[in-house]
Each structure stands twice: as structure tokens, then as C-alpha cells.
Amino acid sequence: MTAPEDGTHHARIAVVGTGRMGAAMAVRLHERGTDVAAVHNRTPAKAEAVAGRFDPQARPRVAATPREAAALADVVIVSLGDDDAVRGTYAGPEGLAAGLRDGSTVVETSTIDPRTVHELERMVEPGGGALLDAPVSGSVPLVEKGELTFLAGGSADPLERVRPVLDALARRVFHVGGTGTGAAMKLAVNAMVMGLNQVLSEALVLAEKAGVERGTAYEVFQASAVGAPFVHYKHDAFVHPDETPVAFSLDLVAKDLALITGLAERLGVRMQQTETNRHVARAAIEAGLGGQDMSAIAGFLTDGPGDRSGRAGD
């Protein structure tokens, strides 16, 4: 285990939600010498699996409830799939908010509606806790390297308190504004990510149908003016889809696109590209591809809705 360099071990951390991102964050914090006191997941086996990856002498408690996890920590990092899961985790007598102590800080990293963030703040503050609306941009490999980008909304004081913890996970931590702005910024980022995914899928299919080998076409994209980080780290998902784990499923893509279009409608912003992306994502899900990675859009465009594999170039 790497020796702590920045004092992160002084704060006790709980991680609530140990899916792909939450699990990776818990393990990364442990490797950086942080005191991860507790982990919790609605499916206890997932939390047990994460705890099993720790050194035996530093194994966190697998908390039975969000309240128990929060009660053991100074900083609670939450990583969940959608707004309903988040609300259910915070609310009620065994919810996260009930376990917070005066001075606790909740770092909410889930991709959710800005309106939900305000609901959570109203749950957290009566017990003396502070909420940071701090979703992340980045994938599991970036968590493992400590290169996430945090998009933090909320007050500056709690952000400064938890900055050493975030610095163990992130290359950049942006304070983008008040409560709810982190969630809004994440939706704006995801609108671009999903636009890139759509146009990359279309361009790849176009080149392949014209006789260019898929790997060659992708290499050209990486070397061109459009070779953004997304294009580089999605290489295997597009070129070797059968061998690459799902990083961001189409079901979650559709959930985020609904949040993006909902926010845009409330703000009076026209987002025609995003509407197209949402239409295509819904059609791919109706074709049975909801559990596949977002790169499966390329296969859907190649083979059409009659094919259920979502794999292109086979």
C-alpha cells in the first residue's frame, strides 16, 4: 500500500454504492493510505467483495444500512445509479442522512438531476452535515490512476475540508458554483460525451461500409483533430467489443439523456443533437442492447434493429 502523502488518512471515509465506480474509488483511497472505515451497497455481496480487496488489517466494515455507514465516517462518498436510488439511500430512519454527525460531509458523485441535489441538501443539513454536489468525469481506469475530474457544486468550506480526499482520486477538482451546479455541469459534459459516442459510431460505420478496416479507421480517428481522450480510451470498446467489459451501459446513457433533455427544457435550451442521441439510444435499448456498453451504438447502426448482438464488424 502506498504511504499517505497528503493527510488523507486523518478523515474516516465511508463509500455508499460499490458498483464499478464506487468500488474503484474505495480501493484507490485505501491504496493511498486513507482510512476507509465502511462500505455499503444495496446488494451486500458487492460491498463484501470490495472489502475483500483491502489489506486484512485495514478491512472496512460492511455496513448493513446507509445510516450505519454514515455514522462511522467524517466523509461519505456516494456513487449510485439514478435519482430514485439516491433518494432511497438518504431518506428514512436507516437512511444516510440519519447517520450524519455535525461536521460530516457528503460527497455526492452520482449523475442526478440538479433538483434532486437540492432535495438531498434539505435532508443533510438538519443534522449538521454538508452536501457537496460533486459528480465526476472519468472512467474506472482513471479512478485507478487518480485522474478523475470532480465537478463540485456547493459551499467552498466543505470542499476545502474534503479536498485532500478528492485529490487522492482526481487530477482536477473544479468548484463550478452553488448547490446543483455540479449536477448540471456533469449533464453538460455527458451531453458532449454522448454526442461524441454517436458521431464516432456513425463515422466508424461509414468508413467500414466503404471498405476501410475497422481498426485502421479507428487509428485514423485517434491521430486526427478529433482524437479526444474519449476516442482514445474507448478504442477497445469499439474495435474489440466482445473482449471489453461494459463501462457505461446504454440503459444508463438513456437515463442521463432524459435528465439532460429535461434540464434543457426547463432552461429553454434547444439541444437537437441530444434529442437525436436520445432517440437512437432508445431504439437500441428496444432492440435488446440496454445492458451493453454505449459503444454498441456502432453495432446497432451497422446491423439495424433486427440484430441483437450490438457487435459490429464480426
Which sequence positions are flagged as catalytic? 186
Cα(54)–Cα(236) distance, integer angstroms: 29
Tell me the sheet residues that pair with 78.
Answer: 16, 108
Task: Please give the single-letter amino acid code of residue 43.
Answer: T
Closest to 75 measured CA to CA, from 43, 41, 40, 35: 35
Q: What is the number of residues in the chain?
A: 314
CA atoms of 237 and 253, how far apart (whole Å): 15
Instruction: Give 15's strand partners.
Output: 39, 77
* CB 203 within 8 Å of CB 221: yes
User: 161 by DSSP, 3-state: which?
Assistant: helix
Phi, then psi, of 272 in degrees rounded to 5: -65, -40
- Is residue 40 a contact partner of residue 65, using CB atoms and an 8 Å limit? yes
Where on the phi/psi map is residue 102: left (φ > 0), alpha (ψ -120 to 50), or beta?
Answer: beta
Which among 309, 17, 32 is positioned nearest to 165, based on CA atoms? 32
Burial of 76 (0-12, 13-18, 19+ CB in 10 A): buried
What stretches of 103-257 adopt beta strand conformation (E)?
105-108, 130-133, 136-137, 148-153, 170-177
Does residue 2 contact residue 25 with C-beta atoms inside 8 Å?
no
